[in-house]
Amino acid sequence: MITAKSVSENLQKLRDQAPLVHNITNYVVMNNTANALLSIGASPVMAHAPEEMEAMAGIASALVINIGTLSKEWIEGMLIAGKTAQKRGIPVILDPVGAGATDFRTQTCHKIIAECRPTIIRGNASEIMALISSDVKTKGVDSTESSEKAVELAKTLAKESGAVVSISGPTDFITDGAKVLSIKNDIPLMPKVTGMGCTATTLTGAVAAVCPTSLEAAATAMAIMAVAGEMTLPLAKGPGTFQSHFLDSLYSMNENDIVKHLKL
């Protein structure tokens, strides 16, 4: 279980420790997610060359693997970094962007799960369901299913992979296969801004670097996203201003904001 107080405490730990988060992420969101990490108080590095993966994963406090813009060379780097992070015992967060859209994406996710053993898998409902059921397809990188519908398959994925599974949607669900936590802040502008799911994933990495358990880390990160979204919504005139105000909300968020806005 998480509370507004535990979210606030973990946010403060993150700001105090400023963990280095190594992101192997996609071209679309590199700038967005790096700024989100800086705004929340973490330190980002965006590196994907196979030649430096072992060294970079060797100094990071968490590793985020995001398959949004895949290539064979990037997959090679992901596997090297993931295995290095696993050996070091630092959190590995997988974002299976577009899993279910093509066999290449889905098979890459299965390979990363099998060889790197991620501690947290965070995606939308269709992506999570596609990792268990070949009958589920995504619409490009967008979900075609509700987060509620994905919960049972997410529990199965958690049990089979050993990872905590975090599903984003109007209601977010986080499960370790037994417990299920939910966050009920529905922010209608979020799906209109590219990279918000990727931002949730990179923040999950930052929180996991300082949090005692993966379940608490995944839920805390989604809670921070939800609160920042609630803080931003009254200030935004549309997707463009939502994106800029969202970073400001991450930067200024305090315990009072969390108590006021978090809907568990």
Q: What pLDDT score was predicted for residue 147?
A: 80
Q: 0.75 cut: is pTM over it?
A: yes
User: Tens digits of per-residue pLDDT, 150-186?
Assistant: 999 999 999 999 999 999 999 999 999 999 999 999 8
Residue 106: pLDDT band with limits 50, 70, 90:
very high
Mean pLDDT confidence for 89-95: 98
Q: What pLDDT score was predicted for residue 149?
A: 85
Mean pLDDT confidence for 96-117: 95
Which domains are delineated in the chain? Answer: 4-261 (3.40.1190.20)
End-to-end CA distance of the chain: 10
Mean pLDDT confidence for 131-140: 68
Q: What pLDDT score was predicted for residue 20?
A: 98
Task: Give pairs for 37-41: CB < 8 Å, separation 24+.
Answer: 37/202, 37/203, 37/206, 39/247, 39/248, 39/250, 39/251, 40/11, 40/14, 40/15, 40/203, 40/206, 40/224, 40/250, 40/251, 40/253, 41/11, 41/14, 41/15, 41/206
